Amino acid sequence: GAGVSQSPSNKVTEKGKDVELRCDPISGHTALYWYRQSLGQGLEFLIYFQGNSAPDKSGLPSDRFSAERTGGSVSTLTIQRTQQEDSAVYLCASSFWVTTDTQYFGPGTRLTVL
């Protein structure tokens, strides 16, 4: 079946603009995770959802970052007033349940803030 998909694959924006990144998890997967991959910080956890709830938002770098999930499926990560340090690859993953289930990763969205 279809894997995790993310859109857009690439996004170039100007400093100060808002951006929205989208993730479509594997059908039937209840858990959804957002991670960020950058040169300086490696791979870091941002937030996860179980259903539509986000029990752990501890990884969000600042209050400019927010995420939501609707219908237990699609999730959107929003970055307001983007800064150059937000440039990174944003990865989404999903798993059947929030346990030690394998997380399946999407191809990522490469965000460049000029």
Partner 1 sequence: GDSVTQMEGPVTLSEEAFLTINCTYTATGYPSLFWYVQYPGEGLQLLLKATKADDKGSNKGFEATYRKETTSFHLEKGSVQVSDSAVYFCALSDNTGGTSYGKLTFGQGTILTVHP
Which amino acid type is present at position 66? Answer: S
Structure tokens belonging to residue 62: 């600042």
24 vs 59, 66, 106, 110, CA distance in Å? 21, 17, 9, 16
- What is the footprint of partner 1 within residues 25-64 (CB under 8 A)? 31, 33, 35, 42-45, 48, 55-56, 58-59
Q: Does 70 bind partner 1 (CB under 8 A)?
A: no
Angle at 86 between CA 83 and CA 87, to 5 degrees: 110
Q: Does 96 bind partner 1 (CB under 8 A)?
A: no
Q: Is 103 in the site for partner 1 (CB under 8 A)?
A: yes
Phi/psi of residue 86, nearest 5 degrees: -80, -10
Separation CA 15–CA 94 (nearest Å):
30
Nearer to partner 1, 42 or 71 (CB): 42
* Comparison of 53 and 83: residue with beta carbon closer to partner 1: 53
- Which position among 91, 109, 111, 113 is part of the footprint of partner 1 (CB under 8 A)? 91
Q: Which residues form the interface with partner 1 (CB under 8 A)?
A: 31, 33, 35, 42-45, 48, 55-56, 58-59, 91, 93, 95, 98-108
